[in-house]
Amino acid sequence: MLRTAELGSVTAHRITFRAAGAPAHVLEADPGRHALVLSSFGEIEVARAGCELVVRDTAVALCDTLLPLDIGPAPGNRAAEAVVMVFPGSAVPTVHPDTAGSQHRVRDAAGSGPLLRSFLVEAAGRAAGLGAPEVARFGDAALQLAAAVLERHFVDAGEVCPQTQQYELITRIRGFIDRNLGDCGLTPSLVASAHHISIRYLQRLFKTEGSTPSDWIRQRRLENSRRELCDTRLRSVSVREIGLRNGFTQPSDFSRVFRAKYGVPPGRFRDDWFQRDAIGQSGGRVTAMTDPAVARKI
């Protein structure tokens, strides 16, 4: 069983395996992002290109997603459950997006690891009843907890991370953007002013991860629009209103950029999603997924 929730720029997966030999879930490659894998119970095996890690008890596995990850129960386990947090590598100080091979390791994280796991489970369970700004705050909190876990258990003694302040700043900036997606006046200038930095410095921050402030704002607006289009509680809300809720003041602009990103206009995307969902449920299979884009990655 798979349950997924988007918490701002963080995605939380809760994957339950109820029988021995249950097939692994595949987390597809997603360059620039990382995954923390924790076990709620049982032993979890995380495999990537022939390299296998076993996560149990208070252990936490850190993996980059440059390659697909197979996440499943370790051999001999009759039941197990994994909690997986997928996040932008640049959002956490101790994770460097340009580091590939070293970002596949497991450490015991007694204390902070279980705290992060419990928070992800609770936040994901409550996210469905909250608005985008509140959900984004959950994502911010998850990133802060993840940073604490990584700094405490994945940074070797004497290792120095000179870009810590920069990463913390961009994490705050991303949270600010997520909380203000519906403000049509959300511009790079406003973001820079709110954080007491220059536009030029803001642009440099985003350039380090291959983006621009404007592109990031548009991307997060589109991702949140996509999530709301798939939300059964918002089924009666018009496509135009969903666009407005996410800062798209002109329906034609919303339709154009959404189609460029996802291949179909927002109205068609919503109709196709609910049609697939209805077919799945009529066949006796009820899915806990709320996002077709996430479904393609798992």
Output the six-digit token pair for 160. 């120095």
Which residues of the chain are modeled with pLDDT < 70? 90-103, 156-165, 167, 277, 279-298
CB 35 within 8 A of CB 163: no
**What are the pLDDT digits (tens) for 44-78?**
999 988 889 999 999 999 998 888 999 999 888 77
Predicted confidence at residue 271, as pLDDT, reads 92
Predicted confidence at residue 21, as pLDDT, reads 76
Cα separation, 55 vs 46, whole angstroms: 8
Predicted confidence at residue 295, as pLDDT, reads 40
Handedness of CA 105, 106, 111, 112 (dihedral sign): positive
pTM, to two decimals: 0.62
Predicted confidence at residue 82, as pLDDT, reads 95
Q: What is the DSSP letter of 23?
A: P
Predicted confidence at residue 153, as pLDDT, reads 82
**What are the pLDDT digits (tens) for 215-266?**
999 999 999 999 899 888 888 999 999 999 999 999 999 999 999 999 999 9
Predicted confidence at residue 259, as pLDDT, reads 95
Predicted confidence at residue 281, as pLDDT, reads 58
